[in-house]
Amino acid sequence: MKVAVVGATGLVGTKILQVLAERHFPVTEIIPVASARSVGKEVSFNGKQYKVVSMEDGIAAKPAIAIFSAGGTTSLEWAPKYAAAGIRVIDNSSAWRMDPTKKLVVPEVNAAVLTTDDFIIANPNCSTIQMVVALQPLHQKYKIKRVVVSTYQSVTGTGKQAVDQLFSERNGEKLSADQMAYKYSIDLNVIPQIDVFLENGYTKEEMKMIKETCKIMQDDAIKVTATTVRIPVVGGHSESVNVEFENEFDLNELTALLAQAPGVVVQQDDAAQFYPMPLWAHEKDEVFVGRLRRDETQAKTLNMWIVSDNLRKGAATNAIQIAEYLAAKGII
């Protein structure tokens, strides 16, 4: 089928093209789309070069599906135009996530909500995706009451300028303010702010995790509080998650449950010092879970450590898994 990738020249757009090829999605024609300044540039897909076309030409090519990764403003303007032309849109921005008329989907958790009526489908925030993949099987078994999450997020979540900033600083280069993705140095530093601050003192990223978790897991009773932090790594996002359940759990049973869950890999061996790390999650599609242990200060509460490649499962792979589900169900 014809597939358009909108924002094809960006970090996530490039990863979408890579993952489409690796997962052998049935692409008959790839249509790379980007802003006017990128039209005419070339991108690589399956060993071939393709010229980037404009937003209008992307619609005219009549793809069956368009995977958007071009920012919220672009999505708000163009996703409805693609949808009006009968093109299924899977959007990576925050533009549609909390729109009550749009589905917010992580296939391992809630793919079944998708129907033939859905023409704009929202891809959740990267840090939310990996957390809910690990939480869903536990919620089904033990019922989650409250989640406290602190994230340790890769600079790749900000984009190419952030990656360049990290390695330029690591090489001892002096950068001007307009060359920096962050207000402060990121190398040898930790920045406890992702996105802008809101009136309640939380950042926009933190509130995304709070609201999106309940929508994806279809349970507004789950209480979530978050602190999101940027760290100088490139392999993926990590999360320290404290989960309080309504029902008691056996740790061995819980670990086995996670090991059988779709998309989850348990890495748990204290004696061997074996646990999830971005170093190992890089370029993989799974969500890695470890450091599973009881919170000894509170009943029915678990501590866990969750790691995933934010450009893959946190963005490109999740979007493509949605497309795979639509194809398997005959929706596209």
Assign residue 51 the CATH number of its domain.
Answer: 3.40.50.720
- Please tell me the predicted confidence (pLDDT) of residue 153: 98
Q: Are residues 65 and 206 in the same domain?
A: no
Q: What is the mean predicted confidence (pLDDT) over 184-189?
A: 98
- Please tell me the predicted confidence (pLDDT) of residue 249: 98
Q: Are residues 77 and 139 in the same domain?
A: no
- Please tell me the predicted confidence (pLDDT) of residue 212: 98
* Catalytic residue annotation: 126, 237
The pair phi, psi for residue 135, each rounded to 5°, is: -80, -30
Confirm whether pTM is higher than 0.85: yes
Bridge partner list, 265? 288
pLDDT band at 86 (very low <50, low <70, confident <90, very high): very high
Structural domain of residue 55, as residue ranges?
A: 2-124+315-328
64-89: b or e for each residue (b if 16 or more CB lie within 10 Å)? bbbbbbbbeebbeebbeebbeeebbb
Q: Are residues 133 and 87 in the same domain?
A: no
Q: Are residues 32 and 151 in the same domain?
A: no
Nearest to 277 by CA among 309, 324, 319: 309
Helix-helix angle 126-142:251-260, to 10 degrees: 130
Q: What is the pLDDT of residues 278-292, one digit of tens each?
A: 999 999 999 999 999
- Please tell me the predicted confidence (pLDDT) of residue 69: 95
- Please tell me the predicted confidence (pLDDT) of residue 206: 98
- Please tell me the predicted confidence (pLDDT) of residue 163: 97
Q: What is the mean predicted confidence (pLDDT) over 81-101?
A: 97
Q: Are residues 214 and 305 in the same domain?
A: yes
- Please tell me the predicted confidence (pLDDT) of residue 166: 98
Nearest to 219 by CA among 325, 147, 315, 148: 147
Q: Are residues 48 and 68 in the same domain?
A: yes
Q: Exposed (0-12), middle (13-18) or buried (19+): which is 37, by Cβ within 10 Å?
A: exposed
- Please tell me the predicted confidence (pLDDT) of residue 242: 99
- Are 197 and 203 in contact by the 8 Å Cβ rule? The answer is yes
Q: Are residues 115 and 144 in the same domain?
A: no
Q: Are residues 147 and 102 in the same domain?
A: no
Structure tokens at 40: 């005419």
Q: Which strands sit side by side in the sheet containing 103-104, from one edge to the other?
A: 29-33, 2-6, 65-68, 88-91, 120-122, 103-104
Q: Are residues 163 and 116 in the same domain?
A: no
Q: Are residues 198 and 303 in the same domain?
A: yes
- Please tell me the predicted confidence (pLDDT) of residue 230: 98
**Cα separation of 224 and 236, whole Å?**
22
Q: How many domains does the chain divide into?
A: 2
Helix (H, G, I), strand (E, B) or coil at 269: strand
DSSP labels, 16-83 = HHHHHHHTT---SEEEEE--GGGTT-EEEETTEEEE-B-HHHHHHT--SEEEE-S-HHHHHHHHHHHH
- Please tell me the predicted confidence (pLDDT) of residue 273: 98
Q: What is the mean predicted confidence (pLDDT) over 188-200?
A: 98
Q: What is the pLDDT of residues 206-260, one digit of tens each?
A: 999 999 999 999 999 999 999 999 999 998 999 999 999 999 999 999 999 999 9
Q: What is the pLDDT of residues 119-152, one digit of tens each?
A: 999 999 999 999 999 999 999 999 999 999 999 9
- Please tell me the predicted confidence (pLDDT) of residue 218: 96
Q: Are residues 200 and 165 in the same domain?
A: yes
Mean pLDDT of the chain: 97
Q: Are residues 133 and 233 in the same domain?
A: yes
CATH of residue 275: 3.30.360.10
Nearest to 154 by CA among 173, 126, 131, 175: 126
